[in-house]
Amino acid sequence: MLQRKGSERGKRRKKSFNREDIPLYFMALPTVIYLIIFCYLPMAGLIMAFQNFNVTKGIFQSPFVGLKNFQFLFSTTDAWIITRNTVCYNLVFIAVNLAISISLALMLSSLRWGTYAKVMQTTYMMPYFLSYAVVAIVANAFLHRDNGLINSLIRMSGGIGKTNWYHQQSIWPPLLVFVNAWKGVGYQTVLYLAVISGISVEYYEAAVLDGATKLQQARYITIPHLRYIVGISIILAMSSIFRGDFGLFYNVPMNQGMLYPVTDVIDTYIYRALTYLNNVGMSTAAGLYQSVVGFILVIIVNNIVNRIDPDSAMF
């Protein structure tokens, strides 16, 4: 169809084969080969979800077992727990990080001391550059049973201070939300701050002339200007709501079995099914479940956004 359009328009070079375009094919080639091997081939590899995969036999010789892997996956409560954890944590993360980072950005942008605001902003973003391997060590310095800061503080104030925090399920949901915010809020704050500093001064001038208070300026000028960028961030986050942050959920709780009911997400489950149980079929089945539901969610979210505000839609 595109080609027909091209030829109808006759002499406009648009959309028809062109010798001058040959270099473009060469420039695209490495990435195309990469995408075929490392992205599209593994998609075909999802067929292992329906096999009793055997490493020595490989994909082509392993016997098919129908939906057995899925039956195995959904016959326990595991599937429900990991789905609930992944989705709920992600929803809370989106809400908490958004609330904190917008408040921080508003405060920073209205501060009278510019350099002070710059220093704060730089500080907030620092944890973004730490890996979860490091974050886990930092968390451990607080939570360690014998030496950890929390237990020493409890001991100093007269308590026993021998709690193994890595066995206490109840503290982990708020703790993970905190750690995730600690690491991620700075990045979002800087993003929103960049948008706020790009808002034209004229809006504020007009508002001041009309006698608007600072609060009204924030409410009617700054926040509406943030709507677009916030929309985009929410959509991006919603579209990966079925993916758990592996580092956060595996490293920070140090892969403690007793915490699985509150820390296990789809990604950590797949990893363990692959490396500890060596169950390729079932872990692929879990992966396929994640990819398919995730894909459907992206399409739904994008459709809804398209209806409300086509400009913020992804495609």
Partner 1 sequence: MAKEERHINRLNMISKGWNLVFAIILLIIALLVIIPMVLIVIISFSSELSIANKGFSFFPDEWTLNGYKYLFKTGDQLLDSYLITIFYSITGTVMSLSVMTMYAYVISQRNFKHCRFLTWFLFFTMLFSGGLVPGYILNVRYLHINNTVWIFLLPSLVNAYYTIILRTFIRTTIPDTLFDAARIDGAGHFRIFISIVLPLFKTGIATVGLFSLVSRWNDWFIGMLYIENPKLVPLQTLLTKLQDSINYLKQNAAIAGTPDGIALLRTLPQESLRMACTVAVILPILFAYPFFQRYFVQGLTVGSIKG
Question: How would you class 4 by CB atoms within 10 Å of its CB: exposed for 0-12, middle for 13-18, buried for 19 or more?
Answer: exposed
Contact 195, 134 (CB under 8 A): no
Within residues 208-227, the interface with partner 1 by CB under 8 A covers 208, 214, 217
Among 1, 10, 55, 66, binds partner 1 (CB under 8 A): 55
Check residue 187 for interaction with partner 1 (CB under 8 A): yes
Within residues 234-293, the interface with partner 1 by CB under 8 A covers 239, 246-247, 251, 254, 267, 270-271, 274-275, 280, 283-284, 287-288, 290-291
Among 51, 90, 233, 263, binds partner 1 (CB under 8 A): 233
Q: Strand, coil or helix: what is 211?
A: coil
Check residue 82 for interaction with partner 1 (CB under 8 A): no
Among 7, 27, 158, 276, binds partner 1 (CB under 8 A): 27
Q: Which helix (H) or strand (E) holds 139?
A: helix 132-143
Q: How far is the CB of 95 from partner 1 (least distance, A)?
A: 18
CA nearest 109: which of 48, 191, 171?
191
Contact 247, 88 (CB under 8 A): no
Check residue 20 for interaction with partner 1 (CB under 8 A): yes
Check residue 152 for interaction with partner 1 (CB under 8 A): yes
x/- map, 104-133, partner 1, by CB under 8 A: x--xxxxxxxx-xx-xx-xxxxxx-xxxxx
Contact 251, 132 (CB under 8 A): yes
58: left (phi over 0), alpha (psi -120 to 50) or beta: left
Within residues 157-186, the interface with partner 1 by CB under 8 A covers 182, 186
Q: Is 129 or 220 the residue whose CB approaches partner 1 more closely? A: 129
How far CA 199 is from CA of 108, 139, 202, 226, 287, in Å, comes to: 15, 39, 9, 9, 43
Q: With CB under 8 A as the rule, give the number of residues binding partner 1.
A: 117
Check residue 1 for interaction with partner 1 (CB under 8 A): no
Rounded CA-CA distance 53/270 in Å is: 15
| Structure-block tokens of residue 12 | 């406009």
Within residues 130-149, the interface with partner 1 by CB under 8 A covers 130-134, 136-138, 140-142, 144, 146-149
